[in-house]
Structures are given as C-alpha cells and as structure tokens.
Structure 1
Amino acid sequence: MNKGALLDPAWNVAPDAPRHIHLIGICGTGMAALAGMLQQRGFEVTGSDANVYPPMSDFLANAGIEVMEGYRAANLSRHPDLVIVGNVVRAVNPEAMELARRALPYLSMPQALAHFFLADRTPLIITGTHGKTTTSSLLATTLHRTGSSPSFMIGGLVEAFGRNYHLGDGPYFVVEGDEYDSAFFNKVSKFQHYRPHGVILTSVEFDHADIFADLDSIKASFAEFITRIPKQGVLVAHSDDPVAGELAAAARCPVILYGTGSHCHWRLTDLHAQGLISEFSVYHHNHLQGRCRLPMPGLHNSLNGLAVIALMTHLGFSFATVTAGLAAFEGVKRRQQIRGQVRGVTVVDDFAHHPTAVRETLKALRLAWPANRLIAVFEPRTNSSRRAVFQQAYANSFHQADLVCIREIVPLDTVPLAEQFSSRRLAVDLCAQGIEARAFADTDTILSFLDENCQEGDVVVILSNGGFDGIHERLLTLLSQGI
C-alpha cells in the first residue's frame, strides 16, 4: 500500500535566490493570490491543480502564470528552485511523491507568505472563528484610504481593489489568520507562521471538525498563536466572546478589549440600522468619541468596524480618519452582497456556514429589511457542517427567517452516516418551532420551488461557502423569465 510522500524535513526551507517557483494546488484562493504576489515580485511562477476553471484560471492566465491541469510527476521535470504545497494536496499526490524523489526545497503556503512577504513588514493579523474576511477587508481598505499603502492577503475579493491581495509600499501587511492546518507535512494552524505584531481576535468557537477534536484543541492553537505576539505588539480582543476574553488574559503584550460591555476599552452603543447602513456611538474608556457610519448591516459587522478603530488608533491614526475610511467601505464579495433584484425579489449572497455566522447574518438582514419576507437558502457544504456535531446548533440559527430551504448534503465518504448532518431533520426541527422549512435533494429542486413561490418584496439570502451550483445567477434568470 502506498503510504505517500516522505518529505525530508531538511528540505523544508526557502533556498537562497530562487528563480523558478512552482505551486501545487495553485487554484485555491490563497495559493492563487500568493502566485500573483510572487510573479509581481519578479519570480518565474508555474503551478498545477486538479480543477482549473474560472475565475481563478482567468486570473492566473491574465497574470501570465502557466498552469498545468492535473497533478503529474512530469510537472516537476523543469526542476524548480522551490515548490510550494497547498493544503489541498495529500501525501499520495503524484507531484508530492515526485517532490520527495527529487529532494527539492519546499514550503507550505503560510511558510512561503511569511518568508517572502512578512519578514520586512509589520504584520497585522485578523483571526477568530468569525468575521476574519470582513474585518481584514475593513482594515486594509481603511489603511488604503489614509494613504498608508498597505499590502494584504485576504480570503475574499475586496471591492476597493477587485482582488484578494495587494502589494503596497507602506509598512503594514494585513493577513487573514486562518486556524486551519498548513499542509500535510506542516500540521499546524496557518496563523502560527505569520509573525504577528498587531492582532484582532474576533471570536473563538468550535469549527473545522475534520482537524480539531474539540473546542479545547482549537483554544490551544489560538493560545499558542497569542504567545507569538511580541511584548511591543498589541492584541485587540472581542471581550463579549467569552473564549476570546479568556485567551486574551494570558497575552504577554498590551491587550485592548472591544465590545458592548462597560469594561471594554472600546465600546459600541446605540446601534441604529437603516437598510444596509449601520450607525453606532463609540466610547473609549467611557468617553464618547463620536458616531461611526458603516455601509454594512448588523451588530457583528459594527463590532468588526469597532475592532478596526481600536487597532488603528493604537497605531496612531485619528478617530476621525479611521471612521471616515470605514464610512467609505465598498464591501467584500460574498458578504451580504446583493447579487441582483428582479420582480421585486432581492437576492443576497453570503459566505455564512457556521451556525453562529448563519444566526448573525440573518439577524443583520432582518434589521436591514424588517418588513420583508426573509427566505434563507442554506447549503451545508463544509466538513464541519456536514457532520452531526452542529445539528442542534443549526436548529437555533434560523429564527429570523420566514422560510428556510435546505439542500441535502453530499455525504462524507470517511464519516459514518449516523454521524452526518441531516437536512431533513433540520427542516423538521425548524417546523416544530413554527418556522416554515423544507429540505431539497438538489439545487434544481430548490430553484423550481423558489421560482414558483417568490413574491415581490422577498429577500432571498443564499448561505454557502461555495458556488452552490451557480444558484444566484440561475435564480435571477428564472425570475426575469417570469416577468
């Protein structure tokens, strides 16, 4: 039986003055961004992936980066100076096997990001179970508005830049700090490599059930990361979240607490929502600083904005400068993004998939559209959401919705059926609470149901961390055909 590649740890290094860098698994969001940054720095960049299709294939082609479709040993025949291995790659991958045979230098994606881009910058790391992409985008865009010319690498497309990475000339590098593991040979959370100076910690909950056994194992990884913040750095922690507050207490650097409680250094009060815009008062050490306007709905987004205020004022920016930047935020794709409106039906796209994220997203949309029927369409797609571990939690996440459509899961091959999530059971549980809910076998049946049942004024929010079979545009097309 083939046990896979046995990579020599001695070759897990960055060589001096590499010229040709090859990325295995190049079409992942983070890997494609890294490829673009390396190419911008002047390296010859190639890559390979099993699935090469738009939009990443178009992005890489436009950047002039050669991409080989399919994983093959021959893809390393040009003997690159360095190979970067994405975390989608397993030890049995033929290129991983060839990498071991050729004894080429190799790094994981976060190791490479740290080596090539963070060593000479001031890394600002946004981490936590929820809100990483939105908060990173808020921070990077607001720094940009101040003329600070930040660099960033984020898990979503930032509207102000039209991409998920940027290399600026300023001192700051904003990174979304993911707790997922780095590579098959580097089984530590990605953020352990990121040399933090300033950190925002939004929340800590159980997630990623495929790699973490329980909440304690996740807490241990975050705790280790916090110890990496130097004494001259800073941790901005959301103290409304009990685990984040607990972990922050052990930091060896200055800690700034933000939230809604009276003990917070930075406190949010008097939240007012008008459509997709939120306004709130900001207090620092119980002294009113002023009002903040944010073009995003919901308490959770306002708290993300408050975290940016706390970090940036610590870095020396004025409150007025920061709030002006937040007010001009253009958004980030797949975070409460309106995809279109047809026949009076508004279709919203959101990345939410964890039970807490689903709950907070629906609360925010209810604030934005208090009088409209809110239809939630949910695809349980992640390794965690397809497990029964969140079955009951999801039953408590859809209270703001008037109608819930749940797609049946694609079963996990490695998990017993009894331990997998049941869309039908969730529908039954929601109906028992008085919430109309249905489970559907596939995307086509959901679309047929929505086409027949959507009414003028409805807000349909699509909740998935994936493409959901193009349901957004397909729904808009169906609705337009019915005019």
Structure 2
Amino acid sequence: MKIHFIGIGGIGMSALAGIAVKSGYIVSGSDIEDSYNIKHLRNLGVKIYIGHKRSNLDPKTDLIIITSSISKDNPEVLKARQLKIAMKDRGEYLGKLMKNKRSVAVAGTHGKTTISSMISVILDKAGMDPTVAVGGLIKEFGNQNWIKGKSDLIVVEACEYKSSFLKLKPSIAVISNIEKEHLDYFKNIDKIIDAFKNFLKLVPQNGFAVVNADDINIQKILTNTQFDFPIITYGMSESLAEWRIENVKEEKGQVSFDVFKNKQIIDNFIIRVPGKHNTMNALASIIVTSKLGVNLKTIKETLLEFTGAKRRMELKGEKNGIIVIDDYGHHPTEIKVTLEAIKNFYTNRKRLWCIFQPHQYSRTRLFFNDFINSFDLADKLIINDIYEVRDTKKDIQAVNSKKLVEKIQEKKEIDTLYIESFKETAKYLSKNAENGDIILTIGAGPVYQVGELFLNENCKK
C-alpha cells in the first residue's frame, strides 16, 4: 500500500508517517519547508517534497492523509480528487490505527503531551511494547514522538481542535482540564465542554476514563451526564477525587509528592520536571499505567528518570551563568503556570527573562486581555512578532505584538520590550542578561531559536 501525507512535517503527521513506514507501507509526503521531523523520515527512506505541487503525487498512490491546515485548493488535493484517490484526514487515520486495540487517548487543553509522554515511557519501560503517537519529542524514544510497538497497546495525544478527537477510538480516555481555547473554531466554552463530553462517550463499556475532578468544566460534565463505564477521578489534596496528591515539595531540582487512593497512602513519588501541575500530570500517568498492570516500582523509577518532552520546560543549556529554558506554552494559563513553576524550581536564580512569541493573530486577539496579565511573575519581558497560523485578514488587522506590549507597559509592573526579530532579541540578551539569570523562550512557534542563537553567539557584554 502506498500512502502520501500532505503536510508530513507536522508533529502529528510525522508520527503517523513513521508508524506507516514501520508497518510496511510505502510512504511519501510533502510540506512547505524542511524540518527535524522530515529529516528523520528521510532517514527511514521516505520520499519527501518541499513545496506542494501536482507532480508530487504518484498516480499509483492508494491513500492520501491530510491535516486540518491543508486547504481545499491545495494542488495535490485537487489532483487526488481528479484521480479519485481515497483521502482521510489525520484524525480519521489515527482512529483507524486505534481500532480493536487497547488504546489510551489523552485529551485536555493543557498537559496532554506531558501525560501521554509519561504513560508511553512507563509502558515502554515495563516491556509492554506500545505503539505511540504524541505531540512532543521524547528523549527515551531517540528524540522522536512515536514508536511502532508489537503489542495491542497504543497511546495517542487527542487533539480537540475542530473536534478532531471525536474521530478516535479510545478504550481508555484521559482528560487533564478544559478551558477556553481554539475560539476561532469553538466560539465559546459551552461548545468546548460539549466536545469533551462527546469524546468521553466514545469509551466502550469495558473501558475506563481518568479525569481531573478539580477542573470546574470537567465537573459540569460529570454532574450532568451518565456514563456506562468506570470514571476514575484525580486531584489535589482539597478535592473530593478518588486519587489525590498531598504534601507537594519543590526543592533541589525535583518535586516530591504523596499519592493517596481513597484516603489511603499509596506511596511517595519524585519527578524532575518543574511545577505542581506536573505532579497532576504524573498522577494521571500513575493511574493509567497501574490500571494496565505496571508495577509501582517501575512507575516510580521511570517517573524519577523522566526529564520531560522536548519544548516542555526544556533546559536548553547554560552560558555565562545564565540558563536557557524553552517551552511550548502559548495560552495565557500555560504562560502563568510555566513562570510560576520556574520561579519555584530555580529559587537561587536572580532575574527571569521571558521571551514570548504569540501564536496566531486570532488567539492573540481573542485572549488579548488575558495575555496582558499573564506575565506578572517575569522580571523582564520581550515580545516578538506574532506567528501567523490559520489567520484571517480581520485577525491580522486587529492586533499585533506592539499593541500587546503597549498595554503591558501601561501597567508599569514589568520591564517590557518589543523586538521584531529573533536575532536582535538574542543580541539584546547577550548584552543585558547577567550571571544568575534565567531566559525562558515560550510559544508554539519557532521562538526557541532565540535561546539557541543566544547560546551560540559570541557577543561580549
């Protein structure tokens, strides 16, 4: 079977392409630019074209896989229709992979990459040989976000955008939290809650769900909907959840916490990724993997060794006593939580520089006031130009980074600058950051390049 992926370089598509190769299919694909994921697929023998052209598509192709970002007038899509080649979107194809398997699907506005990565690494360490397709590169998998296992277990990250996760077939569902996001599609929080409720309804009677009982929007689903499968709840110490976390301590580069089930202590766990929110992510992974039969010793050891998925509070390096951290956070809540986690984790550091690249004009416009109040824990803030994705002319005309900077400056609480380019940002940091400072680059676009430029620059202060 010959499969062609249009938009093959995306984090989700590249995982499916890699799994397809290891499943014995002939794989090709195209994307607008080269990337780390594409280079890895080329090393597996995948023929990849840079740029979208009709000539990229072999008429003998059996199946086309597309992403939600591919337009209807894409030349390869038009040719596929002309040739009447079968076409599926990424969600449909992922759902097909999950059919008739013990499938774990991790959803939520925040945390789903970390939870799905933790679950995947624990199952792999336990010798359960899962297939994995998640949204972040994992060191334990050779800095890839996928593996093709031989067992009937599959772990996937379930994306809610355009309700894509409703095409999946989970036997085990995890929901970390529900918040306003992707408002260019959902319009309001009620639509988002309905989508997550329908996602839960996909779980069969012999499956189960693991959900965060502390989340008010998840509570609404549990209060108003009856399900015919077990729902396991988790939360922090003040919650009424079945599984709970207590006694969280952040010190010496690690976070320790006690896990209780029905008010009986299970054990103490230690993780080396910053933040109380990551103890919740770890708890979700503990519940799922223990239910799947992994022993507690293996879970504890694996979580202790887990250093996080790439671009999730990733320590990039150190230069002149200044450490550089990168994070994928692009939602106001994610920014707040990340800043808090870094402040609490690195208590012996001086100033925290936050370099933010807004992701999408539409998201920046819709969450404008929230972004203004997201950076209060930063000592210095630099905002780069907005990364454009799926934006309308109305969105682009309505907002820009300069306007956001001006509003934050009006608060007179944070030293805030607008710097257009990554290169100029790195130069500014080289001249102004001092020994003992932290530089955090944050955003879903390529803002990580600022940290890399800073670490590699030879500029003298």
Fold shared by both chains (TM-score > 0.5) = yes
Structure 1 counterpart of 2:288: 311
Once the 2 structures are TM-superposed, how far is the Cα of residue 433 of structure 1 from its aligned partner?
A: 5.3
Please give the TM-score of this superposition, normalised by the length of structure 1. 0.89
What's the counterpart of residue 35 of structure 2?
54
Counterparts of 1:361 and 1:21, CA distance in 2:
39
Residue from 436, 441, 446 that aligns with 2:420: 441
Q: Distance in 2 between matches of 1:255 and 1:106?
A: 35
Report the CA distance between 1:427 and its aligned residue: 5.0
Counterpart contact for 2:13–2:90, Cα < 8 Å: yes
Segments of structure 1 that go 5 or more residues without pairing to the other structure are: 1-18, 182-188
1:193-232 pair list within 5 angstroms: 193-232=167-206
Moved more, 399-408 or 344-353: 399-408
* Aligned residue type for 1:29: I
- Distance in 1 between the 2:39 and 2:239 partners? 50
Query: What are structure 2's unaligned runs of at least 5 residues?
Result: none
Q: Is the 8 A contact 1:408 1:442 kept in 2?
A: yes
Distance 1:314 1:329 in 2: 20
SS in 1 for 2:184: coil
Pairs aligned (count): 454
Q: Quickly say closer, same or farther: Cα 1:451–1:431, change in 2 above 3 A.
A: farther
Structure 2 CA distance for aligned equivalents of residues 471 and 155 of structure 1:
22
* 2:156 alignment counterpart: 175
Q: Note the alpha carbon deviations across 1:387-422, whole angstroms, 9 max, x for none.
A: x21111112222221111111325755225564354
The 5-angstrom pairing of residues 401-420 of structure 1 reads 401-409=378-386, 412-416=391-395, 419-420=398-399
Mean alpha-carbon deviation: is it higher for 431-440 or for 340-349? Answer: 431-440
> Is 1:24 aligned to 2:6, yes or no?
yes
Q: Which amino acid aligns with 1:367?
A: N
- Alignment partner, residue 75 of structure 2: 94
**What one-letter code is carried by the residue in structure 2 that aligns with 1:68?**
Y
Q: 1:314 to 1:57 in 2, by over 3 A?
A: closer
Distance 1:401 1:82 in 2: 48
**Is the partner of 1:61 in helix, strand or coil?**
helix
CA distance in 2 between partners of 1:444 and 1:328 (Å): 34
Q: Which of 138, 141, 145 pairs up with 1:161?
A: 141
Q: Does residue 1:320 correspond to 2:312, yes or no? A: no
| Alpha carbons 1:289, 1:319 under 8 Å: kept | no
Q: Does 1:133 align with 2:113?
A: yes
Equivalent-residue separation in structure 1 for 2:294 and 2:42 (angstroms): 39
The answer as to whether partners of 1:275 and 1:367 remain within 8 angstroms in 2 is no
Within the candidate set 235, 249, 254, 2:209 is matched to 235
Q: Identity of aligned pairs, percent?
A: 29
Select the residue among 385, 391, 394 that pairs with 2:363. Answer: 385
Aligned to 1:255: 231
TM-score, length basis structure 2:
0.93
Per-residue deviation at 1:467? 1.4
Q: What SS class does the counterpart of residue 185 from structure 2 fall into?
A: coil
1:429 to 1:473, Cα distance in 2 relative to 1, 3 A = closer
Cα pair 1:394 1:426 within 8 Å, conserved: no
Deviation per CA, 1:107-132: give whole Å up to 9, x if none: 111212222x2124211011000001
What RMSD, in angstroms, separates the aligned Cα atoms of the two structures? Answer: 1.9
Equivalent AA in structure 1 for residue 353 of structure 2 = I
- Check the 8 A contact 2:376/2:413 in 1, yes or no: no
Amino acid at match of 2:91: P
CA–CA distance in structure 2, aligned partners of residues 194 and 322 of structure 1? 27
What SS does the aligned partner of 2:417 have? strand
Paired residue for 2:57, among 67, 76, 80? 76
- 1:237–1:245: 8 Å Cα contact kept in structure 2? no
| Cα offset, 1:320, TM superposition | 3.5
Match of 2:124 among 128, 139, 144: 144
1:472 and 2:451 aligned: yes
Measure the CA separation in 2 of the matches of 1:300 and 1:26. Answer: 32
Structure 1 residue 317 displacement after superposition: 3.2
Name the stretch that deviates more: 418-427 or 158-167.
Answer: 418-427
Residue 280 in structure 1 maps to residue 257 in structure 2: yes
